[in-house]
Chains A and B, each alone.
Chain A
Amino acid sequence: DAGVTQSPTHLIKTRGQQVTLRCSPKSGHDTVSWYQQALGQGPQFIFQYYEEEERQRGNFPDRFSGHQFPNYSSELNVNALLLGDSALYLCASSLNGYETQYFGPGTRLLVL
């Protein structure tokens, strides 16, 4: 049974560019949440997708957007990248969003 998968594993971008990160949830899960983890910090909640809609959002600007597909996979898009967007981006999946969240290995984004 495959767990949560994310791609790519690493990414280097320059300021002002746009990036798309991808996540496939654990089998049987229908909800995907995204978190940003800066170096030396705990993860910060970005948003959650359920039934292809954004259900809840954390304190992140509109430059951060997402999408969920009918197969429950999800994308995180970040526009107009800033140096401060450099972080590990974690995807977590769960059932209905009420159950335990299981995390993927993350995508490490470096903005130069």
Chain B
Amino acid sequence: EPEVTQTPSHQVTQMGQEVILRCVPISNHLYFYWYRQILGQKVEFLVSFYNNEISEKSEIFDDQFSVERPDGSNFTLKIRSTKLEDSAMYFCASSDWGGWSSEQYFGPGTRLTVT
């Protein structure tokens, strides 16, 4: 069964460093998402991406964040200068269409720890 994969599973970085989280969505999917979950809190939407551009972003997704689909398979989230409060589990998701009943398929997540 097709699945979304994410690498690395755990990333430790120092405050101020840049990190890139990688995702490989399901191959025929067209809509891509990043969510995050700070420990003990809700899973929160960060950004959605379709047709090589951002479709929607949340207030969390400020200028320190960027997304890219550098080739036909990868979807990346970059944080330019990490802060302590960026420590969270980051989930990538994809769906084959963007309608109101579309199912999003999630990866296993990358745990980011900023020290």
Bound together: no
